[in-house]
Structure 1
Amino acid sequence: MTAVVSGYGAITALGAADDTWAGVLAGATAARSWEDLADEGFPVTTACRVTSLPPGDPVRRGRDLASAALADALAMAPGALPGVPSDRVGVYVGTTMGESAGYERATTAFAADEHNGAALARHVAGVVGATGPVRAYGTACAAGNYAIGAAAAAVRAGRVDVAIAGGVEPFSRIAMVGFARMRAMTPDLCRPFVAGRRGMQLGEGAAFVVITSAARAGQARAVVGALGLASDAHHPTSPRADGSGMAAAMRSALSRSGVPADDVDWVCAHGTGTPQSDAAEAAALRTEFPAGVPVSSIKGAIGHTMGAASAVETVIAVRALEAGVVPPNVNGPSADPGLGLDVVAAPRPGDVRWVLNCAYAFGGLDSALVLGRAA
């Protein structure tokens, strides 16, 4: 059975899915300095935050982001849920911090299960009325891939008829402090794969896809292939310099999907803009794609949305497959020549058939998800 995307929705610092796609194609960035962060004494005050939603309750920010992205995904696939028994609908949600503001404001009455990833997954299940499997993936910055890959596998295996899958990450002051103290954050703009790159930039957002079998889809927008996973088991925060774990995840995803490396038309890279991570990812790409492959990262546009990142990137990958356009590397048109990559400098029209969406996380968690053009 083939698993396909029949609807998608996203909300990022550039706006909804359409706005984000248009902004990425235009090379726009949502990064700006925030007065509240300066007033609170943060050493880095530049970030990518969503302004298209009302402020709302800070401890429900993730739920609000999820609801906005989910509404668009369901509206695009109106025939996916009607008539499906609730216990045949599954929910799969990735996040790093959950409702981060809940932890930031914790008191002695704090209850983790009101703010963790499971709380976000339960919220999504409540919105769609799902009583099938409800799963939360706390696999940090690879969590979106984990969630979507697991959801597609459940559909292919016939465990569910419809899967709602994606990632959610509200802006986290805890993450801002942590990354700043690690000296991993750029003070100005995130420039993936560029010589002299200075680090990552924090963002927030959410993205969801509706996954069904090809037979159930009113309109199949993309095919979801296999998820490839690997583990570096190398260092708490740094990847192996040779990129071997990343390469293993790519190789597994392609092999399990039956897609030769030469058939991949774009790698949607993790591309955080940190010197070590970009160099390791470049090494992995050179290993798995010795003939070269177009590569770009969207994190220069919307920042690193952590657990939501690869879910947002899945939506961008689906748009690339639909439009037949490889999006550019935002803030990085002049690639570091030492990396040896074909970094896409401007929107590149073409026959985009297969995309590899890569995401990696602290602790050596490596993931790659294959996405294909719908027939």
Structure 2
Amino acid sequence: MSALVTGYGAVTALGSAPDTWDGILAGRSAARPWDDLADEGFAVTTACRVTHLPAGDPTRRGRALADAALADALALADGALDGVAPSRVGVYLGTTMGESAGYEQATSSFSAAAHHGGALADHVASLVGATGPVRAFGTACAAGNYAIGAAAAAVRAGRVDVAVAGGVEPFSRIAMVGFSRMRAMTPDLCRPFVAGRRGMQLGEGAAFVVIESSARVAARRARARAVVGALGLASDAHHPTSPRPDGSGMASAMVSALSRSSLSPAEVGWVSAHGTGTPQSDAAEAVALRSVFPSGVPVSSIKGAIGHTMGAASAVETVVAVRALEEGLAPPNVNGSSPDPSLELDVVVTPRAADLRWVLNCAYAFGGLDSALVLGRAA
């Protein structure tokens, strides 16, 4: 039994899922300087923040992002929850910081219960009426892949009939300070895989997919938009923040995902790369990609367009990958039209038409958390 995506939705600094897709194809970047960050004394004031939603309560920003992305996903899935017992609906959510503004505004009476990732997962469960498994994954920048991979596995195993899975990450001043002090942030634009790249850029967003079994999709004559294959995981155990330079952990995650999906590297038409734009991470990822795909594979990163949305990043990238499979189009590497030749990668610099059957969505996180998720074109 296959796990199929029947709906998806996203909120990024470029807009909704369709707006984000169109913006990436046009090579647009949502990055801009922010007066409030300058007024507060931040060393780096450029970021990718969502402006098309009301500001609202900052301590519930993640919930607002989740509400918008989830509404779009459920609308596209068109009746996915109809007639399903609440106990057969599962929620799987990835995030790095949860409602980070709650921590930023903490007082002596502060309680983490309303702000951690579990609270966000519970919020989504309440929206869809789920009483089945509710899981929160705090695996940092790989959390979206973890959540979607776990959801698909639950559907395939028959533990749930419908899974809602994705990632949520509101803008975090804590993360801005941390990355800035690590000197990991670019002062202007994020340029993945480009010579002279200067670092990552912080974003915010949310993305969800609705996953159903192939049997249920057939029974209700729904439209399948993509197949969710296996999730490959590995651990570098190398350094708290730096990737293993030889990319071996990243490569292990990719090989595991392909092997568990019974695919060869030659069957992958495009890799949605982690591509943060930092010198070390991009270089290590390039080594890993060359190792797994010795004959080459088209590669691009969307972080130049919407920034690094941390726990939501690979969930947003999953939505973009589903669109790529639907359209037969590998999206370009925004801000990366002059790839670093030393990386020896086939970087997609303009939208590239392709017969995409399988793609690999890669996401890596501090502490050596490596993930790769297989996604395929629906038959």
TM tier relative to shorter chain? over 0.9
What's the counterpart of residue 81 of structure 1? 81
Checking the alignment, whether the CA contact within 8 Å between 1:80 and 1:216 is kept in structure 2 is: no
Kindly report which structure 2 residues correspond to 1:191-202, keeping only aligned pairs within 5 A, or say none: 191-202=191-202
What's the counterpart of residue 260 of structure 1? 264
> CA-to-partner distance for each residue in 1:297-334, whole Å, 9 max, x for gaps?
00000000000000000000000000000000000011
What's the counterpart of residue 288 of structure 1? 292
For 1:220, the aligned partner's letter is A
2:223 to 219, 222, 225: 219
What's the counterpart of residue 237 of structure 1? 241
Kindly report which structure 2 residues correspond to 1:55-74, keeping only aligned pairs within 5 A, or say none: 55-74=55-74
Aligned mates of 1:91, 1:29 — CA distance in 2? 31
Identity of aligned residues (%): 81
For 2:128, the aligned partner's letter is V
What's the counterpart of residue 281 of structure 2? 277
What's the counterpart of residue 33 of structure 1? 33
Aligned mates of 1:215, 1:56 — CA distance in 2? 41
What's the counterpart of residue 189 of structure 1? 189
Aligned mates of 1:143, 1:113 — CA distance in 2? 20
What's the counterpart of residue 301 of structure 2? 297
Aligned mates of 1:237, 1:37 — CA distance in 2? 25
Query: What residue ranges of structure 2 are gaps of 5+ in the alignment?
Result: none
> CA-to-partner distance for each residue in 1:64-88, whole Å, 9 max, x for gaps?
0000000000000122101000000
1:350 Cα deviation from its structure 2 partner: 1.4
Checking the alignment, whether the CA contact within 8 Å between 1:169 and 1:204 is kept in structure 2 is: yes
Q: Given the alignment of the two structures, is residue 205 of structure 1 paired with residue 205 of structure 2, yes or no? A: yes
What's the counterpart of residue 331 of structure 1? 335
For 1:12, the aligned partner's letter is T
What's the counterpart of residue 360 of structure 2? 356
1:236 Cα deviation from its structure 2 partner: 0.1
| TM-score w.r.t. length of structure 2 | 0.99
Aligned mates of 1:89, 1:49 — CA distance in 2? 31
1:215 Cα deviation from its structure 2 partner: 2.0
1:169 Cα deviation from its structure 2 partner: 0.1
Q: Which secondary structure does the structure 2 equivalent of 1:215 belong to?
A: helix
Runs of 4+ in 1 over 3 A off after TM superposition: none
Give the root-mean-square deviation of aligned CA atoms: 0.4
Q: Given the alignment of the two structures, is residue 15 of structure 1 paired with residue 15 of structure 2, yes or no? A: yes
Aligned residues: 375
Aligned mates of 2:214, 2:168 — CA distance in 1? 26
For 2:79, the aligned partner's letter is G
Aligned mates of 1:121, 1:138 — CA distance in 2? 11
Checking the alignment, whether the CA contact within 8 Å between 1:98 and 1:117 is kept in structure 2 is: yes
What's the counterpart of residue 42 of structure 1? 42
What's the counterpart of residue 250 of structure 2? 246
Aligned mates of 1:234, 1:158 — CA distance in 2? 36
> CA-to-partner distance for each residue in 1:20-77, whole Å, 9 max, x for gaps?
0000000000000000000000000000000010000000000000000000000001
Checking the alignment, whether the CA contact within 8 Å between 1:193 and 1:278 is kept in structure 2 is: yes
For 2:142, the aligned partner's letter is A
For 2:284, the aligned partner's letter is A
Q: Which secondary structure does the structure 1 equivalent of 2:91 belong to?
A: strand
> CA-to-partner distance for each residue in 1:73-122, whole Å, 9 max, x for gaps?
00001221010000000000000000000000001111111100000000
Query: What residue ranges of structure 1 are gaps of 5+ in the alignment?
Result: none
| TM-score w.r.t. length of structure 1 | 1.00
For 1:285, the aligned partner's letter is L
Q: Given the alignment of the two structures, is residue 370 of structure 1 paired with residue 369 of structure 2, yes or no? A: no
What's the counterpart of residue 169 of structure 1? 169
Q: Which secondary structure does the structure 2 equivalent of 1:227 belong to?
A: strand
Aligned mates of 2:184, 2:205 — CA distance in 1? 20
Q: Which secondary structure does the structure 2 equivalent of 1:55 belong to?
A: coil
1:216 Cα deviation from its structure 2 partner: 1.6
For 2:202, the aligned partner's letter is L
1:315 to 313, 319, 341: 319
For 1:363, the aligned partner's letter is G
Aligned mates of 1:81, 1:186 — CA distance in 2? 43
Aligned mates of 2:32, 2:349 — CA distance in 1? 22
Q: Which secondary structure does the structure 1 equivalent of 2:364 belong to?
A: strand
1:254 Cα deviation from its structure 2 partner: 0.3
